[in-house]
Amino acid sequence: MIEAWTLRKDRLQEQDESFRQKLRDLSDEERASFYRIYNKKLRDPDTYAVLNWLFLTGMHHAYLGRWVRALINISVMVGGIILLFSENAQIGFWMIVAILAIEIPALFRSQIIVEDFNLRQGEKVLEQMQSQAPQPVQNQT
């Protein structure tokens, strides 16, 4: 939840460069296979930002496959709205303020959050490909 505050652009760029070097080491066939799988997992920062802006209830977390976080956000936001129209309106107000305080920074840092997500997806795809690749047989003499 605090990734909007903890992610650093320079560190992400270093990780991205290291990852790109691993991709350069792949054969053309392996790289093509990687991108076929990876392109299906990529997420768009603008879509993430729009979902965050329009639906502060957590739909942007669902977009990244973070269903638990999405459900927590939805529950707190809906609970806050319900409480706004009850005798506990002050609690409802503060629940909504808490969600906004957490999610507004994510809106303004959507680019780096989604870049980090996409990088991690790429690393997972590469790791899966390497684990499924046939291992060279060593000659036992």
Q: Helices in the chain by DSSP H: which ranges?
A: 3-6, 9-24, 28-41, 45-54, 59-63, 67-84, 89-108, 110-132
Give the chain's radius of gyration (CA, Å): 20
Count CB atoms within 10 A of the CB of residue 34. Answer: 18
Report the chain (141 residues): mean pLDDT per 10 consecutive residues: 65 88 88 90 90 79 91 91 92 91 82 90 90 63 51
Count CB atoms within 10 A of the CB of residue 114. Answer: 21
Nearest-angstrom CA–CA distance, 56 and 104: 8
Q: Where are the domains of the chain?
A: 27-130
pLDDT at 14: 87
- The tens digit of pLDDT for each residue in 18-27 reads 888 988 888 8
